[in-house]
Amino acid sequence: MTSLANHIRTTSEVARALQDGAPVVALESTIITHGMPFPQNLDMARKVEAEIRAAGAIPATIAVIDGVICIGLEDEAMEGLARIPAAQVMKLSRADLAGCVAMGRTGATTVAATMICAHLAGIEVFATGGIGGVHRGAETSFDISADLQELAQTPVTVVCAGAKAILDLPKTLEVLETLGVPVIAVGQDQLPAFWSRESGLRAPLRMDDPALIALAASLRGRMGLPGGHLVANPIPPEAEIPRSVIAPIVDQALEDAARHRIAAKAVTPYLLQRIFELTEGASLQSNIALVLNNARFSAQIAIAAAELRR
Ligand code: PSU
């Protein structure tokens, strides 16, 4: 029988860090292939890794390349991924990860698939921009991201800047609550909304200290409770697009998506691209700033988690 280990490749730097119990932060690749245009995507991916190193942890960007689950990407592989047109890369979630590996194809991991791969590798903390959630109109489309189910079952702490404001945020919070996923705001009581610090919704939990977040995750595991933690870290004030400014732009992008009958996995990439056009690039600058901010905070959680393992 084929061993799973034959389908996973870990860079020597990440393997050494994991063996030594050093702090490691996982990073996803859909944000690179489907979330941002080239060359800003490559620049962002490199800067995020540099931020994590500067904060004292080891970054591990995750992707499937030619059927191999890569835990950590060398710069050449990172550049290759950033340059491939989105249409030629699978957007991997729980449902298609194993199939992509079996077919020997290349795929970018969403939040759900990155959590699965990080857990397989023994990585506890993962930084991204915004998770997927309940799409507006889900009561008829049934479009709910598999990211939410994954948070309910895979023990990884995911640091994001909230759910993307293109979603139905109250319904996203409801589903997370139903699934028993802890949603923790950092530095404020409100759930942040990706490009904006405010959502108008109170987060169920608030923890400003990364050590507390690491402790909560560790205790949850020891209590035998499955699933991860969702940390919602607001975008820095100087980089935010206020809610009143982004809301009508999101509405316009959603109307355009409906008119063009965009569905399923294409919805989020379409909306991000449309909002980029409508804001003349400002949304991308905000997106990059929030990801860098999450990289820094996730490194602090990973360092605290490593302390707890000693
Ligand atoms: N964060 C970003 N940009 C992105 C994503 C996250 O700043 O593009 C990706 C993640 O991979 C997440 C996906 O899992 O968007 C959500 O896609 P969907 O709504 O189709 O589940």
Per run of 10 residues, the mean pLDDT along the chain (length 310 residues) is 92 98 98 98 98 98 98 98 97 98 98 98 98 96 96 98 96 98 98 98 98 98 97 98 97 97 94 97 98 98 97
Amino acid 1: pLDDT: 72
Ligand 1 pocket, residue 29 CB under 6 Å? no
Quote the pTM value.
0.98
Ligand 1 pocket, residue 127 CB under 6 Å? no
Sign of the alpha-carbon dihedral angle for 109, 111, 301, 167: positive
CA 110 to mean position of chain CA atoms: 7
Ligand 1 pocket, residue 110 CB under 6 Å? yes
- Both tokens of 35, joined, read 């979330």
Smallest CA separation from ligand 1 atom 18, residue:
132
Ligand 1 pocket, residue 128 CB under 6 Å? yes
Pairwise CA distance, residues 14 & 272, whole Å: 31
Maximum C-alpha span of the chain = 57
**Residue 164 is among the residues annotated as catalytic for this protein:** yes
Q: What per-residue string of b and e applies to 66-87 under the rule 16 or more CB within 10 Å gives b? A: eeebbbbbeeebbeebbeeebe
User: Which pairs from 197-200 meet CB under 8 Å and 24+ separation?
Assistant: 197/234, 197/235, 197/237, 197/240, 198/242, 198/243, 199/162, 199/165, 199/169, 199/243, 200/243
Q: Is 264 exposed, middle or buried (0-12, 13-18, 19+ CB in 10 A)?
A: exposed
Which of 49, 51, 164, 265 is an active site residue? 164
Pairwise CA distance, residues 106 & 100, whole Å: 7
* Residues 23 and 299 sit within 8 Å (Cβ to Cβ): yes
Which of 28, 49, 150, 240 is an active site residue? 28
